[in-house]
Amino acid sequence: MTKVIFFSKGAFGVGEHEIRYFVIPMIVVFILGIAGISAPIFPVVQFVIVGLIAILAGTVCGWIAVGIRLLVKWFQTRKEHHAVKKVAVASKR
């Protein structure tokens, strides 16, 4: 049986669960953008502009969410390392 993996953890730790931080804002902005178009003179151009804005919004929101997650993970690792270092110094006395 062949298993296909669309998204796997990369260098930045973006796994298949983190993709929602990119996709959901894109979908929301796209739907609201399409709903906001009234009496389009150039419907194809406005559709492309809304699509590009949706992609940009999803990308920015997704990387902000991933960045916050990485920052929290870094602080936790730093805190644990500091606690271990403190215990090691205390045990040498």
| pLDDT at site 45 | 87
The pTM assigned to this predicted structure is 0.67
Written as six digits, the tokens of 19 are 């993709």
* pLDDT for residue 66 is more than 50: yes
Over the range 5-44, which residues count as b (16 or more CB within 10 Å of their CB) and which as e?
eeeeeeeeebeeebeebbeebbeebbeebeeeeeeeeeee
Percent of the chain with pLDDT over 90: 39
Go through the chain and tell me how many residues it has. 93
At 11-49, the pLDDT tens digits run 555 677 788 889 999 999 999 998 888 777 888 888 899
Bigger pLDDT: 45 vs 93: 45
Provide the pLDDT confidence category of residue 87 given band limits of 50, 70 and 90. low
- The label of the residue with tokens 């151009």 reads 45
